[in-house]
Amino acid sequence: MATSTKKNNVRQGIEDRLQHTTEALQDKAEETYDALLDRLRYERDGLERELRHEYRNARRYVRAHPEQGLGLAFVAGLVVGAILTRR
C-alpha cells in the first residue's frame, strides 16, 4: 500500500505541475493575443488616417488639375482593362 500511495502522490504532483504549466501557457497566450490585437488596431487606425489624408490630397489635386486627373483615370482604366483581358 505504501507503494501505491507513493505512486499516487507522484502522479498527483505531476498532474499539479502540468495544470500549473498549462495555466501559465494559456495566460501567456492570452496576453500575447491581446497585445497583438492592440497592435493591429493601432496599425489599422494609422493606415486609415493615412489613407484618408492621401484621398483628400488626390481629390484636391484632381480639382486643381481636372485634365490631368481625367487622363490619369483613363490610363489607369486601360491598364486595368489590359490586366483583366489577359486572364
Q: Can you tell me the distance from the alpha carbon of 5 to that of 12, in angstroms, rounded to the nearest whole number? A: 10
Query: 30 by DSSP, 3-state: which?
Result: helix
- For 61, residues 6+ apart whose C-beta sits below 8 A from its C-beta are 68, 69
Of 47, 73, 52, the residue nearest 62 (C-alpha): 73
Domain layout of the chain by residue ranges: 2-86
Q: Give residue-wise pLDDT tens across range 30-77.
A: 999 999 999 999 999 999 999 999 999 988 988 898 898 888 889 999
Query: What is the amino acid identity at position 11?
Result: R
Per-residue pLDDT at 80: 95
User: Is the model's pTM score more than 0.75?
Assistant: no
pLDDT band at 2 (very low <50, low <70, confident <90, very high): low
Per-residue pLDDT at 83: 93
